[in-house]
Amino acid sequence: MSQSVALRTTFDPAKYVRPAIHHLPLYTRDGAPTEKPAREIRLDWNESPYGPSPNAVAAIANVAAHNRYPEFDAWKLREAIGHYAGVPAERIVAGAGLDNVLETLMYLLIETGDRAIISEPTFMVYELLVRGHGGTAVNVPLRQDFSLDVPGILAAVDEQTKLVLICNPNNPTGNLFDRAAIERVVAETPCLVAIDEAYAEFAGESCLDLMAEYPNLAILRTMSKFAGLAGMRVGYGIFPESLMPYLLRVMPGFCNVSAAATAAAIASLQDADYNRAIVARIIADRENLADQLRELPGVEPLPSATNFLLVRLPVADAGPVVRELANRGVFVRHFGNPAFGLLDCLRVSIGTIEDNEIFVAELASVLGAREPAA
């Protein structure tokens, strides 16, 4: 091959990738253990430890036409979601998980120069999506008690602000925000306010009813947590009627939800008794786990309205503890950004009773071998 041909085929990816992507952090699981453990107890991604409704499993098995696309507008799925949530199907956008619905929302609203307000510590995907679309994620941090800084949020809104994102209950802190605080943000903000209610079924509270009063409010939810369908990837958003003509122009064909996932979601939504029982079981297990953790010296599980606990440890930095737990086959999360105020914390998803007991025993062992924080 001649030198001139070789030069023509040289490819520099950095030259072609959009500048907004170059410095985005990776959204991934924490680092793998030094050696593969004999067991793996996954308590790091807030999945349900229990399977979905048996009706959902049967519905998946009964999907025979895998060679055919599902409904182009996912109408039956949107109808089932609407019946469950008590809203018209015409105001629903579904997606392959809530991340996909967020992506559709960013595609609708955010371009270079736009701003979206977030309140860290919170779900890190918000920042990644805003920045990935060329926007600026403006952080108005939570207060020390993890409450919303409402005056700070309102002061941060300007002409370039397209969106305010609030995760309620919040991830990773687990707390439920004051409803009056959220309503004030919605009432006094001219842009869209999207409330991520991924954990609403565990909290037993929702701001959905506020949509009747405020035309700038959207509610985002997922079936990954309460319905045990994380592997199926089904999320949805409930949007203002006035926004739907625009959303329908960017909503992916088929809503990016497969025929199998559609069947599972519809069947699951129709099995309310099963879902309520699983949610109640996880909440009971969460409180039992919190009681066990309080028995460990210096360990403080924080109040939670979700299917996970944020746990303060008697160490300055929980990172080494989390890594040692991973070496022992118990996977939890750590949020190492000092600005979050969570350096001494780990987040643990609620697992089965056996999983929770193993986690407590291994945490006690790891902490017992370490020096306490100064």
Query: Per-residue pLDDT for 141 more than 80?
Result: yes
User: Tokens for 100?
Assistant: 């996909």
Architecture of domain 28-50+273-368: Alpha-Beta Complex (3.90)
Residues with Cβ within 8 Å of 266's Cβ and at least 6 positions away in sequence, in order, are 59, 76, 77, 80
Query: Cis link prior to 52 (omega < 30° from 0)?
Result: no
The fraction of the chain above a pLDDT of 70, given in percent, is 95
Average pLDDT value for residue range 336-347 = 93
Query: Cis link prior to 121 (omega < 30° from 0)?
Result: yes
Query: Per-residue pLDDT for 372 more than 60?
Result: no
In this structure, the strands spanning 115-118 and 161-167 are parallel
Grade residue 34 by pLDDT with cuts at 50, 70 and 90.
Answer: confident
- 67-78 residues labelled b (16+ CB within 10 A) or e (exposed): eeebeeebeebb
Average pLDDT value for residue range 17-29 = 77
Average pLDDT value for residue range 98-112 = 96
Query: Per-residue pLDDT for 5 more than 70?
Result: no
Query: Per-residue pLDDT for 373 more than 50?
Result: no
In this structure, the strands spanning 136-139 and 330-331 are unpaired
- 160-185 residues labelled b (16+ CB within 10 A) or e (exposed): ebbbbbbbbbbbbbbbbbeeeebbbb
Q: HSE-up of 260 (CA within 13 Å, CB side)? A: 11
Position 143: which residue type? R
Please give the class, per CATH, of domain 54-271: alpha beta
Q: Residue 163 forms beta bridges with which residues?
A: 116, 192
Q: What is the DSSP letter of 178?
A: P
Query: Per-residue pLDDT for 189 more than 80?
Result: yes
Q: At residue 136, what are phi and psi to the nearest 5 degrees?
A: -115, 125
Grade residue 6 by pLDDT with cuts at 50, 70 and 90.
Answer: low
Query: Per-residue pLDDT for 285 more than 80?
Result: yes
Query: Per-residue pLDDT for 182 more than 60?
Result: yes
| Predicted model pTM | 0.92
Q: What is the mean pLDDT of the chain?
A: 93
pLDDT attached to residue 68:
85
pLDDT attached to residue 19:
84
Q: What is the DSSP letter of 253?
A: G
Query: Per-residue pLDDT for 374 more than 50?
Result: no
Contact 197, 238 (CB under 8 A): no
pLDDT attached to residue 28:
64
Where in the chain is CATH 3.40.640.10? 54-271
pLDDT attached to residue 139:
98
Contact 62, 277 (CB under 8 A): no
**Low-confidence winner among 24-38, 46-60, 267-281 (lowest mean pLDDT):** 24-38
**Alpha-carbon gap, residue 214 to 219, rounded angstroms:** 12
- Give the closest residue to 154 by CA, choosing from 128, 121, 207, 191: 191
Q: At residue 335, what are phi and psi to the nearest 5 degrees?
A: -120, 95
Average pLDDT value for residue range 273-299 = 98
pLDDT digits (tens, 9 = 90+) for 205-262: 999 999 999 999 999 999 999 999 999 999 999 999 999 999 999 999 988 999 999 9
Query: Per-residue pLDDT for 352 more than 60?
Result: yes
pLDDT digits (tens, 9 = 90+) for 308-337: 999 999 999 999 999 999 999 999 999 988
3-state secondary structure at position 126 = helix
The fraction of the chain above a pLDDT of 90, given in percent, is 83
Query: Per-residue pLDDT for 347 more than 50?
Result: yes
pLDDT attached to residue 371:
60
Grade residue 3 by pLDDT with cuts at 50, 70 and 90.
Answer: low
Where in the chain is CATH 3.90.1150.10? 28-50+273-368
User: Tokens for 68?
Assistant: 């055919």
**Alpha-carbon gap, residue 293 to 311, rounded angstroms:** 8
